[in-house]
Amino acid sequence: MDADFYPPQSVARVKHVSADQTTAFLELRNGNIATCTTSEGFHFERGDIVFIDVDNNDISIAPDELWDEESWVGVVRLLPPGQVVIDIGGRLKVLDEPNVIDLREGNTVKGYESRGITEVISEDPVRYIDLPAVDSVTVEQFKASPDGALSFDDFGGYPEIIERAKELIEIPLERHEALTKIGARPIKGVLFTGPPGTGKTMLAKIIAHRADAEFYEISGPEVLSKWYGQSEELIRKIFEDAAAQERAIVFFDEMDSLASKRRDDSHEASRRIVGQLLSAMGGFTADTNVVVIATTNRPQDLDPALRRPGRFDWEINFPMPNMEDRRAILEVSARRLNKGEDLPHEEIAEKTSNWSPAELVAIWSEAALLAVMESRDAIFSDDYICGFERVAQHRKRTSVSGSGIGEE
């Protein structure tokens, strides 16, 4: 190799040149400013990178690459005459005499401290929040594995509701071909409505776990908080994946949070999500074997478009449990508990008119506490009755009493 070496030279950036070109202020790499003067006039201008050859008392232009400067990316917010206002990570910056002429508000641009804007990266504004990508890996996260922890044996009371739910969900999935042959409009969406704690979520999961179908579980509030801005894309991808399965259930829990008809800020997002749902469900073909289940305790808030024929036109209402239901719920929910004796389910069921299943089940937590405090390892009738009284007290204080819907 044959190479010539020259003595080292300092690199600097020109910060300012006087109007008569005789004085220049140079920024050195360590941040210091050097002043130099010449009677002949400098041939560089602000922003140029220069070599300083101290030995020979000479300054010459150097390639820009020698001053590796970090670029910034920003969004053009305003274009007053001769200036640009740029939003860089939330901080506004004004640049005079922008180099790039064809700028529009909303453009995403790249620039350097010394040289100003050098390039338009995108016609549209970049988003600062790193939005998660909606890809097949994401869709996998919504596939709930049927853990089989819950079964119909855990669901007390409501025999007609269980029957109806099986009819509307299991039969269409299992007998898809036969139903298609008959040619009637297929069941696409089933809406579970009813007051809080009446077992809507629980039953939907039990059915899904039992059905031999791919199960996608989407919690409305979670999608809104984690996927805001991309909810539609997420929904589209999930439906695409579901449609490719032999059988699938797409389950939207607390649907009202996603698809409400409210007129506030969230309306725009809701409207787009509803639009996406409508088009996804409208796009089902004869081969698509997907049933969509949604739950809500505020059906009045749901966007009415979702109730159109071919969408969620089947509804199962979960009322507050009647006497029979309550006895069954108490019995069933005590199934796995250690019991010291036969428990008075009948008596408690009689005293709990207007209680929701969730409130009934809460009795067991109180009863277990009482038993443990008395050093017992099983629940006895006294624990049960005291537990009931404690939940009753709590209900009174927080006035969460049921709405009375369906009470006998």
Ligand X SMILES: Nc1ncnc2c1ncn2[C@@H]1O[C@H](COP(=O)(O)OP(=O)(O)OP(=O)(O)O)[C@@H](O)[C@H]1O
386 Cβ contact partners less than 8 Å away, ≥ 6 residues apart: 366, 367, 370
Does position 358 bind ligand X by CB under 6 A?
yes
Among 223, 280, 329, 363, binds ligand X (CB under 6 A): 329
Please tell me whether residue 142 binds ligand X under the rule CB under 6 A.
Answer: no
168 binds ligand X (CB under 6 A): no
Q: Which is nearer to Mg ion, 205 or 237 (CB)?
A: 205
CA–CA dist 91, 229 (Å, integer): 23
Please state the closest distance from residue 202 (CB atom) to Mg ion, in A.
Answer: 8
Site string for ligand X, 274-303 (x = CB under 6 A): ---------------------x-x------
Q: Is 156 in the site for ligand X (CB under 6 A)?
A: yes
Phi and psi at 293, nearest 5°, equal -115, 140
195: which strand partners?
none
Task: Give the shortest CB-323-to-ligand X separation in angstroms.
Answer: 14
- Residue 191 beta carbon to ligand X: minimum distance, rounded to whole angstroms: 12
**Is 364 an interacting residue with respect to ligand X (CB under 6 A)?**
no
Are the CB atoms for 243 and 210 separated by under 8 Å?
no
Stretch near ligand X under the rule CB under 6 A, chosen from 51-59, 277-285, 325-333, 376-384: 325-333
CB of 193 to ligand X, least distance (A): 9
CB 357 within 8 A of CB 329: yes
Segment lying near ligand X (by CB under 6 A), choices 23-31, 88-96, 328-336, 363-371: 328-336
Q: Is 196 in the site for ligand X (CB under 6 A)?
A: yes
> With CB under 6 A, what is the number of residues at the site for ligand X?
20
Residues at the interface with Mg ion (CB under 5 A): 201
Q: Does 260 bind ligand X (CB under 6 A)?
A: no
Pick the closer one to ligand X by CB: 157 or 189. Answer: 157
CB of 317 to ligand X, least distance (A): 11
User: Among 188, 200, 326, 395, which residue interacts with ligand X (rule: CB under 6 A)?
Assistant: 200
In the complex, least distance from residue 214 CB atom to ligand X, rounded to whole angstroms: 22
Minimum Å gap between C-beta 161 and ligand X is 9
- Identify the residue whose tokens are 């409501």: 158
Instruction: Name which of Mg ion, ligand X, none residue 199 binds, using a CB cut-off of 5 to 8 Å depending on partner kind.
Output: ligand X
Nearest Cα to 203, choosing from 154, 146, 236? Answer: 154
297 binds, among Mg ion, ligand X, none (CB under 5 to 8 A by kind): ligand X
Among Mg ion, ligand X, none, residue 172 binds (CB under 5-8 Å by kind): none
332 binds ligand X (CB under 6 A): yes
Among 17, 202, 238, 302, the residue binding ligand X under the rule CB under 6 A is: 202
Closest distance between Mg ion and the C-beta of residue 301, in Å? 15
Select the residue interacting with ligand X from 9, 198, 231, 276 (CB under 6 A). 198
Contacts with ligand X, residue ranges (CB under 6 A):
155-158, 194, 196-202, 295, 297, 329, 332-333, 357-358, 361
